[in-house]
């Protein structure tokens, strides 16, 4: 008797990555139907939303507790961690809003949909981090110059220890939100881009990555606060460790957010995603039978993990009747092999370069 799979098991199967075809060979099997693609996307977004909602609730509960603990202990380091959690909570709320809006159907005015709201939420998240960083650095400088303050080491230790545990849970929660659907690192054999025959679906959601980076920063920060708490508890004369934590954490966040800023800038400027290599894609398209040349290839991202391409190719003379087969092969190559989200393919018969000068240009020639 055949085993019956539950609907949830079927949903989980949709998120399992397909085995890549052999290197150097272009897989030309049947394309996945639109229904399967939409269902796969709904499953992925449902998992992301669930984990982000849980993360937001956990952040809110502990942020309130840490604000109270930091105020009672008079610890700038603990307050830094609490305010940073407030920033992360805002980022997660923005992310949930962006994911909800990005699932809406395109309109007559926004024909690509609302995917880039996710990019905007990541930008706002990083901006909040930098605003908070400037405020905390100012407070840390004041404490460095004026040492007339006392810190309750016992309360600081308890608050920091709970913070380490909460941020460990948070990091695992956010890290799993995109594990089934994407991959961060290109394989060692193809640095800088996917090779033909490899299925490289893209990168994790940019906003989810931003939230995950924030969680990692909070974890390191909580560990630093815990170390500073032990120092202050047993060596009160070394209370300068409290503002020092703020200096170190500010530098840490500046480095960890740089990649997110760069990815966001590339998307806004419609640059080629880092996991794709234009030259490799052109070579793969040229291997399609009856293709004479690839005249133009433009690749950009609607948002992270949703790459789009427009391709203009010329066919070998006498093969115009095979345009449907060529178009189907090119579409399969771009969508399945290289993992693009959408593509537009324009085909025409071969035209010599000499025939492309218009009459106006010829008349103006000396």
Positive or negative, the CA dihedral 66, 67, 70, 73 is negative
Q: Give the separation between CA 74 and CA 65, rounded to whole angstroms.
A: 14
Of 275, 218, 240, nearest to 146 (Cα)? 240
Do β-strands 342-349 and 306-315 pair in parallel, antiparallel, or remain unpaired? parallel
- Give the CB-side neighbour count of residue 21, counting CA atoms within 13 A: 16
- Tally helices (H) and strands (E) across the chain: 11, 3
Give all strands (DSSP E) within the chain, no chain letters.
Answer: 291-303, 306-315, 342-349
Q: Across residues 131-159, what is the average pLDDT?
A: 83
In the predicted structure, residue 142 carries a pLDDT above the cut 80: yes
In the predicted structure, residue 3 carries a pLDDT above the cut 60: no
Other Cβ atoms within 10 Å of 47 Cβ, number: 19
pLDDT tens digits for range 238-257: 888 888 887 887 787 777 77
CA distances (Å), origin 193, targets 189, 196, 197, 276, 280: 10, 10, 12, 5, 8
| 37 pLDDT tier (thresholds 50, 70, 90) | low
Paired tokens of 189: 């054999």
Rg of the chain (C-alpha set): 26
Number of residues in the chain = 366
Q: Across residues 113-121, what is the average pLDDT?
A: 79
| 206 pLDDT tier (thresholds 50, 70, 90) | low
How high is the pLDDT of residue 298? 93
Q: Can you name the residues that pair with 301 across neighbouring β-strands?
A: 307
| 8 A C-beta contact, residue 288 and residue 329 | yes
Q: Is 90 exposed, middle or buried (0-12, 13-18, 19+ CB in 10 A)?
A: middle
Of 351, 354, 349, 352, nearest to 290 (Cα)? 349
How high is the pLDDT of residue 329? 92
Paired tokens of 249: 């954490």
| 8 A C-beta contact, residue 79 and residue 235 | no
Of 82, 63, 73, 84, nearest to 250 (Cα)? 84
pTM, entire model: 0.64
Q: Give the separation between CA 120 and CA 38, rounded to whole angstroms.
A: 23
Q: Secondary structure of 304-340 in the HEC alphabet?
A: CCEEEEEEEEEECCCCHHHHHHHHHHHHHHHHHHCCC
Report CA dihedral (312, 315, 319, 322) to the nearest 10 degrees: -30
Q: Which residue has the tokens 């324009």?
A: 346
Does 283 or 366 have the greater pLDDT score? 283
How high is the pLDDT of residue 8? 42
CA angle 84, 87, 90 (to 5 degrees): 155
pLDDT tens digits for range 68-109: 888 888 777 787 777 777 767 777 776 777 677 767 778 888
| Domains defined along the chain, listed by start | 36-177+205-269 (1.20.1510), 278-349 (3.30.70.1350)
Of 161, 149, 137, nearest to 83 (Cα)? 137
| 8 A C-beta contact, residue 139 and residue 83 | no
Report CA dihedral (161, 162, 165, 171) to the nearest 10 degrees: -110
pLDDT tens digits for range 6-28: 444 444 444 444 444 444 444 44
Q: Give the separation between CA 17 and CA 20, rounded to whole angstroms.
A: 9
CA 14 to chain centre: 20
Q: Across residues 30-53, what is the average pLDDT?
A: 68
């Amino acid at each position: 008797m055949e085993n019956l799979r539950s609907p949830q098991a079927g949903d989980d199967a949709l998120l399992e990555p397909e085995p890549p075809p052999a290197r150097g060979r272009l897989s030309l099997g049947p394309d996945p139907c639109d229904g399967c693609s939409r269902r796969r996307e709904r499953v992925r977004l449902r998992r992301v939303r669930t984990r982000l909602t849980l993360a937001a609730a956990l952040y809110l509960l502990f942020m309130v507790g840490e604000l109270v603990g930091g105020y009672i202990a008079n610890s700038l380091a603990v307050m830094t961690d609490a305010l940073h959690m407030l920033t992360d909570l805002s980022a997660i709320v923005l992310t949930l809003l962006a994911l909800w809006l990005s699932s809406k159907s395109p309109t007559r005015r926004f024909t690509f949909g609302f995917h880039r709201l996710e990019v905007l939420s990541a930008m706002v998240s990083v901006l909040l981090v930098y605003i908070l960083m400037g405020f905390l650095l100012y407070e840390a400088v004041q404490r460095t110059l004026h040492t007339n303050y006392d810190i309750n080491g016992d309360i600081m230790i308890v608050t920091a220890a709970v913070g380490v545990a909460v941020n460990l849970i948070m990091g695992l929660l956010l890290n799993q939100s995109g594990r089934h659907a994407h991959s961060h690192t290109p394989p060692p054999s193809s640095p800088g881009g996917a090779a033909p025959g490899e299925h490289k679906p893209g990168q994790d959601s940019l906003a989810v990555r931003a939230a995950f980076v924030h969680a990692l920063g909070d974890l390191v920060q909580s560990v630093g606060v815990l170390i500073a708490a032990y120092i202050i508890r047993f060596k009160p004369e070394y209370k300068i460790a409290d503002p020092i934590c703020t200096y170190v954490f500010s530098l840490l966040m500046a480095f960890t957010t740089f990649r997110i800023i760069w990815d966001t800038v590339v998307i806004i400027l419609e640059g080629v995603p880092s996991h794709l290599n234009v030259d490799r894609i052109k070579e793969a398209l040229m291997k399609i039978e009856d293709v004479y040349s690839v005249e133009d290839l433009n690749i950009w991202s609607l948002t992270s993990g949703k790459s789009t391409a427009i391709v203009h190719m010329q066919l070998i003379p006498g093969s115009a009747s095979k345009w449907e087969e060529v178009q189907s092969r090119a579409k399969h190559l771009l969508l399945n092999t290289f993992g693009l989200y959408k593509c537009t393919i324009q085909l025409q018969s071969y035209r010599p370069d000499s025939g492309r000068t218009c009459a106006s240009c010829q008349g103006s020639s000396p």
